[in-house]
């Protein structure tokens, strides 16, 4: 049977294409975890180029135990597919090798109402791809499932979260990773202030309020729906609290403080 591998799309752009250089960078990022490592139900990380957000992403992932199975919920940047599009690839290529899809987890997720198997929004999207090398270093042999999450009605949130939690239980459990940047293209000061409104709701473990504040306050957190869904499913699985780990913007790296992107991380315990 032919193996369908999702080819690396942003190696050499968002992160190094050379395996040795990539591993060195990741080792540096994960050397100082944002918090002492703990078992978590979920974690939120940014997905920009490593020069901008690799440290925030790496320190967050180094702060949680990475189990053999991981579900990545990411922003729907690309056209095609459904609101909840489960990738149908057998493996995901990175410079460090291929990351296999976890078939039992993917099969369980495919049975969730509203989830459709479609590779259309995944073929060129960077939001899951940039996370994979970190998982390969932190948990060799890790297997994944990946869902692209578009905008959905907040009234559906609890039902979707419960269904997702049930699928994770049926597959033996998995760490959920929500891949999301924060506010886009306002000034450094405005972005920090807007982000704090969203992070306050995140820290309070209020997924529906997180969605609401982003809409009401024009906070362009691209993965708000993915993050809210992760929070809802984590609560259904037994999570009790959220810790915000780090928050910054692209300004200190780029030197442009007039138009920045916000980056934050959090873990769900």
Could you tell me the pLDDT band of residue 93, with boundaries at 50, 70 and 90? Answer: very high
Q: What is the pLDDT of residue 103?
A: 97
* Percentage above 70 pLDDT, the chain: 100
Q: What is the pLDDT of residue 191?
A: 98
Residue 112 has pLDDT above 80, yes or no: yes
Q: With helix as H, strand as E and coil as C, how does the chain read?
A: CCCCEECCCCECCCECCCHHHHHHHHHHHHCCCCCCCECCCEEEECCCCHHHHHHHHHHHHCCECCCCEEEEEEECCCCCCCCEEECCCCEEEECCEEEEECHHHHHHHHCCCCEEECCCCCCCCCCCCCCHHHHHHHCCCCEEEEEEECCCCHHHHHHHHHHHHHHHHHCCCCEEEEECCCCEEECHHHHHHHHHHHHHHHHCCCHHHHHHHHHHCCCCCCCHHHHHHHHHHHHHHCCCCEEEEEEEECHHHHCCCCCEEEEEEEEEC
pTM of the model: 0.97
Residue 80 has pLDDT above 80, yes or no: no
Q: Report the pLDDT averaged over residues 133-157.
A: 97
Q: What is the pLDDT of residue 45?
A: 98
193 contact partners, CB below 8 Å, separation of at least 6: none
* Percentage above 90 pLDDT, the chain: 96
The Cα 113–Cα 103 span in angstroms is 18
In the predicted model, what is the mean pLDDT of the chain? 97
Could you tell me the pLDDT band of residue 3, with boundaries at 50, 70 and 90? Answer: confident
CA angle at residue 89 from 93 to 141, to 5 degrees?
50
Model pLDDT for residues 42-61, shown as the tens digit of each residue: 999 999 999 999 999 999 99
Q: What is the pLDDT of residue 96?
A: 98
Q: Report the pLDDT averaged over residues 7-24.
A: 98
250 contact partners, CB below 8 Å, separation of at least 6: 48, 52, 53, 256, 260, 261, 263
Model pLDDT for residues 222-237, shown as the tens digit of each residue: 999 999 999 999 999 9
Could you tell me the pLDDT band of residue 200, with boundaries at 50, 70 and 90? Answer: very high
Q: Report the pLDDT averaged over residues 184-195.
A: 98
What domains are defined for the chain? Answer: 5-268 (3.40.830.10)
Residue 201 has pLDDT above 80, yes or no: yes
């Amino acid at each position: 049977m032919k193996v369908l591998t999702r080819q690396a799309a942003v190696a050499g752009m968002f992160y190094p294409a050379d395996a040795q250089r990539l591993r060195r960078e990741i080792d540096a990022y994960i050397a100082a975890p944002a918090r002492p490592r703990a078992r978590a139900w979920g974690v939120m990380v940014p997905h920009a180029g490593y020069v901008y957000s690799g440290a925030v992403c790496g320190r967050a992932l180094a702060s949680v135990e990475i189990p053999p199975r991981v579900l990545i919920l990411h922003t729907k940047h690309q056209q095609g597919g459904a609101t909840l599009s489960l990738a149908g690839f057998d493996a995901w290529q990175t410079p460090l090798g291929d990351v296999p899809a976890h078939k039992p987890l993917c099969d369980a997720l495919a049975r969730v109402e509203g989830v459709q198997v479609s590779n259309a929004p995944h073929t060129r999207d960077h939001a899951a791809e940039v996370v994979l090398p970190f998982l390969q270093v932190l948990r060799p042999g890790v297997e994944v499932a990946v869902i692209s999450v578009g905008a959905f009605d907040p009234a559906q949130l609890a039902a979707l979260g419960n269904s997702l939690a049930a699928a994770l239980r049926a597959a033996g459990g998995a760490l959920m990773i929500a891949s999301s940047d924060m506010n886009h293209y306002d000034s450094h000061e405005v972005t920090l202030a807007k982000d704090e409104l969203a992070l306050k709701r995140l820290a309070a473990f209020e997924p529906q309020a997180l969605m609401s504040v982003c809409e009401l306050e024009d906070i362009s957190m691209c993965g708000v729906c993915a993050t809210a869904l992760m929070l809802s499913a984590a609560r259904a699985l037994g999570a009790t609290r959220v810790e915000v780990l780090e928050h910054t913007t692209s300004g200190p790296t780029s030197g442009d403080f007039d138009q920045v992107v916000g980056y934050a991380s959090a873990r769900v315990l």
